[in-house]
Amino acid sequence: MLKQICLFIFKQTGWKANHQLPSSINKCIIIAAPHTSNWDFWYCIAAFRIYGLKIRFTVKKEWMKFPFNWIMKPLGGIGIDRSPRKNGNRPSFVEAMIELFNQHQELIIVITPEGTRSKRDKWKTGFFHVAQQANVPILLGYVDYATKTAGIGKLIQPVAFNETMDEIMEFYSQITPKFPEKFSLDFHYKESKP
């Protein structure tokens, strides 16, 4: 039913979903970018619903307790547990995300590496380390206002950091955000190249 509603909304607004979704994806990280407007979220979510993907997003584990879980769980929230372990060490966000992937047979997590709708010239890159260490692919989700298309544009198997980030930035350099003045690619990692 929700898929039909999303298809109807896309048809009425002139948008379409890119149907190049790789087959048999059980675990992955989906980047959602550009992120310059609240509309980006809705178009991305609608495209993912059309695909039939059961997407998740991370929140603090406390948000998955009553009464917040009534809202968070149906929306796709999944709790991140960063409490100290038996050895006394508190895991990093990346380590906690890797644990999630290790604990689930199927897990598709959407992240927004820009972190905000304001312009930022440095992306959060923890997603790369999670994908590499959990051995899951990175799917490049997008919303392109020039073509009124949303969906998954490419699958990347993370290799070396610079090479992977270069491929990601090249892809998003071809995408038109709703507010181009609020979007920036991240080329800081290139400083470490020889």
Q: How far apart are CA 45 and CA 53, in angstroms?
A: 9
- Digit-coded pLDDT (tens) for 1-47: 778 888 888 888 899 988 777 777 889 999 988 888 888 878 888 88
Answer whether residue 117 shows pLDDT above 60: no
Report the pLDDT value the prediction gives residue 134, as an integer from 0 to 100.
Answer: 95
Helix (H) or strand (E) holding 58: strand 55-60
Q: In percent, how much of the chain has pLDDT > 70? A: 93
- Mean pLDDT of all residues in 164-187: 89
Q: Both tokens of residue 12? A: 């009425």
Interior/surface letters 119-141, b for 16+ CB within 10 angstroms, e for the rest = ebeebebebbbbbbebebbbbbb
Helix (H) or strand (E) holding 144: strand 138-144
Report the pLDDT value the prediction gives residue 61, as an integer from 0 to 100.
Answer: 76
Q: Both tokens of residue 76? A: 């796709």
Q: What are the extents of the domains in the chain? A: 2-184
- Digit-coded pLDDT (tens) for 138-151: 999 999 999 999 99
Q: How far apart are CA 177 and CA 94, in angstroms?
A: 28
- Digit-coded pLDDT (tens) for 124-140: 889 999 999 999 999 99
